[in-house]
Structure 1
Amino acid sequence: MTIRTIPLDDQDDAARHDDLRILVVGAGVAGLAAAQLLRADGHHPILVERRAPEADDGYMVALMPLADGPIADLGVREEYLARSVALDRFRFRAHSGRSLRTDGLEDVIGRYGDYRGLTRGTLLEVLAGGDAAVTHRTTVTGLDEDPDGLTAILESDGATRTLRVDAAVIADGIGSRTRDLLSGAAPLDRVETGWGGWVVWTPADADSGLGEELWGDDFFVGTYPVPGALGAFVGGPEEETGRRPAAFTDVVRRRLGTVPPRIEDALQAVATAEDPFFWPLADVRAAWWTTRRTVLLGDAAAGFLPTAGIGAGMALESAWVLASHLRDATPETIGEALAAYESAQRPRVETAQDTSRSLARLMFRRGRALATGRDLLLRVLSIATALRPIVRLLADRPALPVRPR
């Protein structure tokens, strides 16, 4: 699986004779998937990424069956299964550390398709398939839309370039710089939870299909399996996580009556890591996704909180639906195609995002009395109940035409 860095001129040359010239900004999950699906349809989208080629695995990803359609259309399902682990159980722990309940996931999520855990870096390699061309270290600094097309100004390795394209897919993340270049940039609805935490890796244990979360008294610890490891998140309110990681993990230990092995491993990993990645828990929602020749995709359109574990899967589904709408579009019909995509996909994405926000309001509560009451609720609140809106989305996924092979 290869993500190949190539000069911008090479991508521009490959796209020169395309009936529909498309610029994709951002080579993360959504942007790479969109570009690869468009390439599978015979297009030559120009894919640019502001960062250098990534050298690490990033964070852990749990992919619900929303990803099955694009994974199948890219022809990478066998590789996807081989490089991920099946997630089949989920455990909630009380604020004291004791186990509250363990729910099976097969009847909740697995009945609709694959539910898998893997690293973000591995997912990008899987999506790349045999080859994915990207121009790294490239930033869009200007967008000028007119009735006949779109002029994009790019800074690539210190040089300024101008590209003329028919449309741009903006997929450069929750803090998108390109989104802000749009005329009348889409207003953003922001949710700031006031919480954040560190992401680290710990050794795998015997429960390779078990995800686990401890909703504590002013803290949160989650562990999620990937092949050969557990991804762990340890966090809390900003005034608490403003401490050094080791000091914060000491506070967590003192508040726990029981420190299960996975939780101890996570706390120890955070405390001893040289520079653990810190994730502020916030989200955004753009008021609109499309103009006549641009479309926001993935986190640039709706950046998810990780509380429902659906953001990456929804980004992949959105890329798949977008590629389907662009399959037969022309420079003259691109506006209608993008508008139809937004009409079809935005309600689904915002339903999933609403669920993530609702869970955040339950998870990120402060005080021992509230934590005790939440423990009582979790005794009767199954994961099927908590994820009911998302289960409805799984049961009613888009029915897209089969991509010609």
Structure 2
Amino acid sequence: MTGTAVVVGAGVGGLATAIGLRRAGWQVTVRERRTELERYGTAFALHPTAQDALDRLGVGEAMRGRAVPYRSAQVRTPEGRVLAQLPLERLERKAGRPELLISRPYLMDALLAELDAVGDVTVELGEAVTDVAALAAGYDLVVGADGLRSAVRDAWFGAGSGPRKVGSVAWIGIADFDSDIHGETWGRGRFFGLTPVEPGRTNWYAAVPEGTTAADLRGLFEGWHDPIPRILTETDPETWLRYEMRHLFPALPTFVQGGKVALVGDAAHAMTPNLGQGACTAILDAEALTRAVADHGRSGLPAALRSYDQERRRTAQRTALASRTLHRFVSTERTWLRDTAARLLPG
């Protein structure tokens, strides 16, 4: 066995990290504070680079079995006028494959199946981490994959960076019908998104000012173009999921500490969902970290962590900044600023 590692957090980034470390020959323990793995949520977007990373982790085939391509989408006004095309066709031409969308539970299933296939990974549920120093003393490597409110980050990287509100709350759900319209509709201080997720179903999300309740939501989008009112009318508010949109601020000066601690995913660079890159960046982090660890071995762990930080930090933080900047544009009350932002999107 190469070394011992504990991964704190059993979300997408944590499970992907555990798979990569086990494939590299490490003895791996995953600790998750929840008593059950998170299976809520709707659709994740998977950029071709994230698909490549999943292939290297052995999860690509299972992922593609449940994913759907995302090939065409537009930005619209509430009246339905097209402001811009999202650059999906250009992305597919460049990468040679389309962006994919997959339901969160299906991606979790694929990761769990591969975790079972690699074997000998201990998953401890209901285990909140309160003493990170003790973990570091007991394992060769500690990976914080424990999200925006990361205990690992707070213990090893200080409290200077933390969750910051952006003034919006998001509601998300699934409609049980196909929509011919995909993309986002930008209004005054709010926006609505539609994507495919699987045949016969449509993923939707609405970003609205903080304090908006489920009872308010239908009224805020009344009169918007089809099928937005239909989606809100025909889906049960009891099935809607709500979360406050936050990001990590300020950006961390490093993703690694002490030659044995590393952060991945939201723990390292939580971002607003505007670019749909949250899951992608977590997967890319996990694959880059575990590849560096595999290349350097246990004795070269400090060098491996430095290599990981050099590969991922600036790229992930640029993505987070771009997503936050886009959020400012699309949630503005100034329609001229919104339309300018749409014209600047690459076609």
Q: What's the TM-score, normalizing by structure 2?
A: 0.88
2:141 equivalent to 1:177: no
The letter of the residue matching 2:217 is F
Separation of aligned partners in 2, 1:193 and 1:126: 32
2:209 equivalent to 1:237: yes
* TM-aligned CA deviation for residue 131 of structure 1: 4.0
* TM-aligned CA deviation for residue 39 of structure 1: 1.4
Q: Give the SS at the match of 2:283.
A: helix
Separation of aligned partners in 1, 2:230 and 2:25: 47
Q: Deviations over 1:31-55 (max 9, x none)?
A: 1001111112222211111112237
Structure 1 residues 116 and 275: CA distance shift in structure 2, 3 A: closer
Q: Is the 8 A contact 2:55 2:61 kept in 1?
A: no
Q: Is the 8 A contact 1:172 1:299 kept in 2?
A: yes
Matches within 5 A, 1:73-92: 73-92=56-75
1:215 corresponds, among 178, 182, 186, to: 186
The letter of the residue matching 2:63 is Y
Bigger CA radius of gyration: 1
Separation of aligned partners in 2, 1:63 and 1:80: 10
Structure 1 residues 321 and 267: CA distance shift in structure 2, 3 A: same
2:167 corresponds, among 170, 188, 194, to: 194
Matches within 5 A, 1:118-197: 118-132=102-116, 133=121, 134-144=123-133, 151-152=134-135, 164-182=138-156, 185=158, 187-188=160-161, 191-197=164-170
RMSD (CA atoms): 2.3
Matches within 5 A, 1:278-297: 278-284=242-248, 285-292=251-258, 293-297=260-264
Q: Is the 8 A contact 2:57 2:287 kept in 1?
A: no
Separation of aligned partners in 1, 2:329 and 2:230: 25
2:271 equivalent to 1:298: no
* TM-aligned CA deviation for residue 328 of structure 1: 4.0
Separation of aligned partners in 2, 1:175 and 1:55: 16
Q: Is the 8 A contact 2:12 2:108 kept in 1?
A: yes
* TM-aligned CA deviation for residue 108 of structure 1: 2.7
1:393 alignment counterpart? none
Separation of aligned partners in 2, 1:104 and 1:331: 42
* TM-aligned CA deviation for residue 168 of structure 1: 0.1
Separation of aligned partners in 2, 1:377 and 1:298: 27
1:381 alignment counterpart? 344
Separation of aligned partners in 1, 2:237 and 2:187: 22
Matches within 5 A, 1:250-289: 250-253=219-222, 256=223, 258-261=224-227, 263-268=228-233, 272-274=236-238, 276-284=240-248, 285-289=251-255
Q: Is the 8 A contact 2:71 2:98 kept in 1?
A: no
2:319 equivalent to 1:352: yes
Q: Give the SS at the match of 1:140.
A: coil
2:307 alignment counterpart? 340
Q: Which has the higher helix share?
A: 2
Comparing 124-133 with 227-236, greater Cα deviation is found at: 124-133
Matches within 5 A, 1:61-80: 61-80=44-63
Separation of aligned partners in 2, 1:137 and 1:72: 30
Separation of aligned partners in 2, 1:57 and 1:192: 22
Separation of aligned partners in 2, 1:140 and 1:377: 42
2:290 alignment counterpart? 323
Separation of aligned partners in 2, 1:338 and 1:187: 21
Separation of aligned partners in 2, 1:333 and 1:130: 27
Separation of aligned partners in 2, 1:251 and 1:103: 24
Tell me which stretches of 4 or more aligned residues in structure 1 moved more than 4 Å: none
The letter of the residue matching 2:103 is T
Separation of aligned partners in 2, 1:290 and 1:283: 19
Q: Is the 8 A contact 1:249 1:267 kept in 2?
A: yes
Structure 1 residues 43 and 265: CA distance shift in structure 2, 3 A: farther
Separation of aligned partners in 1, 2:332 and 2:241: 23
Q: Give the SS at the match of 2:64.
A: helix
Q: Is the 8 A contact 1:74 1:127 kept in 2?
A: no
Separation of aligned partners in 2, 1:291 and 1:103: 38
Q: Which runs of 5+ in 1 are unaligned?
A: 1-17, 145-150, 154-162, 385-405
Separation of aligned partners in 1, 2:267 and 2:158: 12
Q: What's the TM-score, normalizing by structure 1?
A: 0.77
Separation of aligned partners in 2, 1:80 and 1:377: 33
* TM-aligned CA deviation for residue 237 of structure 1: 1.1
